């Protein structure tokens, strides 16, 4: 018998994925955590019925959320990743030779443990001695830091459930405080087609806090229909300050051409902002 997983995109759109098997399924104190193997996109982390990452195209999202801010910073040493318990973002951060410390703040221990076991291509990096894993609330963790991080990356799930506070202005104010004087941050900020109001709100909040701010996109087939957005806020460095991509890093999506055109936006997204 064929097994199909259905993801609800909007009230009127559902997308179906053929499943080979379910590898892990557990209700944590925060959410339902599943690891499934899709027929086309391979193993995937699913939280509360929403696909977070798949082996097939995770590199696009994780490279873009990590390398865009890290190349803009002139010497990133201390990085915090909020959410991202699958480890994909941390894996990309560790590719930068200047990195000394990565604090991964993932509220749900179940996410980290299940990914270590079933998605080792992503979570294997969490054994690196430069990485500290904190299973605590990202909002509170950030609130307690001051002038400490070079780069903060907010790799959250959608703005429902445990991640909701990570899309609000008070959180970005704390992110500003937690960064050093030349620090910058990037957050995943959802689909410009289906979450336009959220993007507008997030962008205007960030604009009131950070002197430099940009939105950029990437096409991540796993997420929704159409492009996905990321919003970057910076205290000092501008996009023009970015160090040139080092080809020895041998990334799969990010390259010199993508770096050059990262912040080019289609007209409908410019108008959204």
Binding residues for S-methyl-5'-thioadenosine: 31, 106, 137-138, 162
Q: Shortest Cβ distance from residue 84 to ligand SPD (Å)?
A: 5
Q: Is 108 a catalytic residue?
A: no
> Using the rule CB under 6 A, which residue among 69, 88, 162, 205 binds ligand SPD?
88
Q: Please tell me whether residue 185 binds ligand SPD under the rule CB under 6 A.
A: no
Query: Least CB distance from residue 262 to ligand SPD, whole Å?
Result: 18
Round to whole Å and give the CA distance between 228 and 17: 19
Measured from the CB atom, the residue of 89 and 231 that comes closer to ligand SPD is: 89
Q: Which of 24, 31, 36, 52 binds ligand SPD (CB under 6 A)?
A: 52
Q: Which residues are annotated as a binding site for spermidine?
A: 62, 86, 155-158
**HEC sequence for 85-130:** CCCHHHHHHCCCCCCCEEEEECCCHHHHHHHHHHCHHHHHHHHCCC
Which residue has tokens 């064929």?
A: 2
Q: What x-and-dash track marks residues 144-183 binding ligand SPD by CB under 6 A?
A: -----------x-xx-------------------------
Kindly determine how many residues on this chain lie close enough to bind ligand SPD according to the rule CB under 6 A: 12
φ/ψ (deg, to 5) at 202: -60, -45
Site map 219..238 versus ligand SPD, x via CB under 6 A:
----x---------------
- Confirm if 175 and 138 have CB atoms less than 8 A apart: no
**Distance in angstroms (rounded) separating the CA atoms of residues 69 and 190:** 17
Catalytic residue among 11, 150, 155, 246: 155
**Whole-number minimum distance, CB 29 to ligand SPD, in Å?**
19
In this structure, what DSSP letter does residue 30 have?
S
Q: In which order are the strands placed within the sheet that holds 131-134?
A: 131-134, 101-105, 78-83, 149-155, 179-188, 228-234, 212-218
**Shortest CA distance to 137 belongs to which of 171, 114, 113?**
171
Enumerate the active-site residues.
Answer: 155
Residues binding ligand SPD (CB under 6 A): 50, 52-53, 84, 86, 88-89, 155, 157-158, 188, 223
């Amino acid at each position: 018998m064929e097994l199909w997983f259905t993801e609800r995109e909007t009230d009127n759109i559902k997308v179906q994925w053929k499943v080979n098997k379910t590898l892990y399924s557990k209700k944590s104190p925060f959410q339902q955590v599943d690891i499934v193997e899709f027929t086309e996109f391979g193993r995937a982390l699913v939280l509360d019925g929403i696909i977070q990452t798949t082996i097939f195209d995770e590199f696009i999202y994780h490279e873009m959320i990590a390398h865009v801010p890290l190349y803009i910073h002139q010497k990133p040493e201390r990085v915090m990743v909020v959410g991202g318990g699958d480890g994909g973002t941390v894996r990309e951060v560790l590719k930068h030779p200047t990195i000394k410390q990565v604090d991964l703040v993932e509220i749900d221990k179940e996410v980290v443990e299940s990914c270590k076991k079933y998605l080792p291509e992503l979570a294997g990096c969490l054994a690196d001695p430069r990485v500290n894993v904190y299973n605590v609330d990202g909002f509170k963790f950030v609130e307690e830091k001051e002038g400490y991080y070079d780069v903060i990356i907010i790799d959250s799930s959608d703005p429902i459930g445990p991640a909701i506070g990570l899309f609000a202005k008070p959180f970005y104010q704390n992110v500003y405080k937690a960064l050093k004087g030349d620090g910058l941050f990037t957050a995943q900020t959802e689909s410009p087609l289906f979450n336009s109001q959220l993007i507008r709100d997030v962008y205007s909040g960030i604009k009131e806090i950070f002197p430099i701010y940009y939105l950029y996109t990437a096409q991540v087939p796993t997420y929704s229909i159409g492009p996905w957005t990321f919003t970057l806020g910076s205290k000092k460095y501008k996009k023009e300050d970015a160090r040139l991509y080092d080809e020895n890093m041998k990334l799969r999506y990010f390259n010199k051409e993508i770096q050059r055109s990262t912040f080019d936006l289609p007209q409908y997204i410019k108008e959204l902002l």
